[in-house]
Structure 1
Amino acid sequence: AIKDAVATARTMLGKPYNTSYVLNDDSYYCSDFIERAFRAHHVFALQPMNFRNPQTGQIAQHWVDLYRGMGMDVPQDQPGTNPNDMSAAPVLQRIGVLE
């Protein structure tokens, strides 16, 4: 999977950063880039994006303002990726701990 992922990643180089985090083929955000590189091998699963504060259940004003400035609603529950979910993928094996 790694060899294929590197080859796929090379085809995606040069695309702009995706500041909306809404999946598209013209730009990528950090974890989106990695998921797509490994997509053919189903290493990482897309998850519903969550912008809600865990204590209040409300979408933080920061996100509302950010997306309003882009002319869109907060993409709550739309498919996406995040590093925390990806790090828990069952196919990954921990090889060490940084100190």
Structure 2
Amino acid sequence: MHKHLRFFLEYGVVGTPLWPRTPEAPDYDSPYGYPCELERLPISPAVRAELARLTEVYQTSLDWDYPPDPSPWSEEQQELFRLDVTAALELLRRELGDDWTVEDPRADLW
């Protein structure tokens, strides 16, 4: 059975950027949790750690004192983060293999 995940970073969610996408059942019925618990997925500890790290770093891209303000990140920080996310997503897809689809909505945002 082909499995689906959605990859997106969410303010206030630390630890995982992965969310289930289960066409035949509600997402919250996923065996991987909602959001996905990385330790339930067949990926290496190194990829788990990198995904978790990215969720923590992402939290610093928001001005928590006044969220409507622009990000406190410089353009260079934003670009480096995008590169890190792209590399982590490529590693994730490679480790999960062809039985998995990992949707990446970032292309619509960045």
> Which structure's residues are more often helix, by fraction?
2
Q: Compute the TM-score of the two structures, normalised by the length of structure 2.
A: 0.28
> Which structure's residues are more often strand, by fraction?
2
Higher relative contact order (CA 8 A, sep 6+): 2
